[in-house]
A and B are shown apart, each in its own frame.
Chain A
Amino acid sequence: MTEFHEFMVAILRSGTPLVYVTMAGVIAQRAGVWHLGLEGVMIVGACATILGIVLTGSFAAAIVIACVLCVAASVLLWFVIEKLGANPIIAGLGLTGLGIGGTALAVQALFGSLAAVTAPFGVPRLGAAFGPYGALSIFVLMMPFVVWGMWVLLCRTRFGLRLAAAGEHPLAARSVGTDPARVRLIALAAGGVLCAIGGAELAAGGLTIFAQNMTAGRGFMSFAAVIFGAGHPIAAAFAAMFFSLVGVAGIRLQLLFGASIPHDVLLSLPYLATILGVWISGRMRGGAKAATEASELRDY
């Protein structure tokens, strides 16, 4: 039983950052933005949290700083897309590069070195009351409520309808008095907050470290989870947790069968699962097709 709990702890610990960032991708996708800048915003959140803790000595101040910076990065993406007319995919990739390079620059500027930064503490833990899950952070506990809240927001509220209209048919949204650009701004800003929490959980949930490029493709995996889940918050959250499960299982398989199966094959399992998942989604739910239909940004 202990092994089961430990396995679940590992899945939750590695999956929670993905889920938060996936929610950011979902809300952006609903608004009609293929958010390939998730990786960049996430690493800003990770970096700002650790540097914030080191510089202020307060977790609350650090998470506020992370949220502000991630929202600023998201607003920058919105500005480039909406006001400068850039291709959202290219702009998103550019934001990823900016995030990775910008965080390295920030560490260099503040500490005079590019070495990994270690904070004295991280996100508050759940504590002994949660038994074997007590080592997890409070963001893990918040995660299902955030996913549920996202579902309510997107699928059961007037704002959710406006958001979907802004993404799927901007002209229709405009005809009923909704400004699609403004809705996208709100969606991307909200996504910035979610990316900040995801980045904070990655760098300060189990760890208390920021290292350059430490997101290591997790933003792109979150984007894949959005596609896998066909833009539905609950389905996308499950997709993100599935990727986490496969990743943790890949580690376990390395330890069990590393001597007989090439490590590279075992390490590639999460990525193979991603491809398989996106393919299954496309076949079963029209996931890729649905996402494509919602990708048109310009007003007709």
Chain B
Amino acid sequence: MINKVVKNAKEALEGVENGMTFMLGGFGLCGIPENSISELVHLGVTDLTCISNNAGVDDFGLGLLLQKRQIKKMISSYVGENDEFERQMLSGELEVDLIPQGTLAERCRASGAGIPAFYTPAGYGTEVAEGKETREFNGKMYVLERAFDAQFAFVKAWKGDTAGNLIFKGTARNFNPMMAMAGKITVVEVEELVTVGELDPNQIHTPGIFVQRIFQGKDYEKRIEQRTVQTKE
């Protein structure tokens, strides 16, 4: 089996440069590549375009890159819960492209699947469709959306093997599998890195073919954004 393992985040992020476009997995703070984000902060690369459903909170997730003004443009579907983001957006320091969540997911998937563009009903008749080609199919209107193009995809999985096969847990899966498909270089950090043969091939969510580099992550905080519980009766 082809071995994709690299030693750590530092090695995994080799080749990352200013001005690049990245995809970062996660929904809210769930399933975000914590180790890769820390390393991006450490490297201090700037003028980044980040494709990620959300933009973290002030002091965690992509908020850490925003604090250091490393992001030039965000492509997201929802960016609440982040004061620094709001400040940079309103002052014009940060460019923001808001797109429908399903369109974001499909533009990632299409990118990895060799589909340059696709028609979706989402956003037809709204400002999201402005300047885009529209077309009728079976009496309904659709908007042409294009696949993304990203140099790196940073993905977080629960378990992965040395060949890059991945298993996700719970709703931490979210955008990670499509971004794994789409990155020219897909960097995966896992909570548990195992040898080949330990994962059941029937249970693999993302086949290793999509993964270029994988490493054992460390010090996961896995912060909960909205802790909502019931008290025991």
Same complex: no
Please report B residues at the A interface, Cβ cutoff 8 Å.
Answer: none
Please report A residues at the B interface, Cβ cutoff 8 Å.
Answer: none
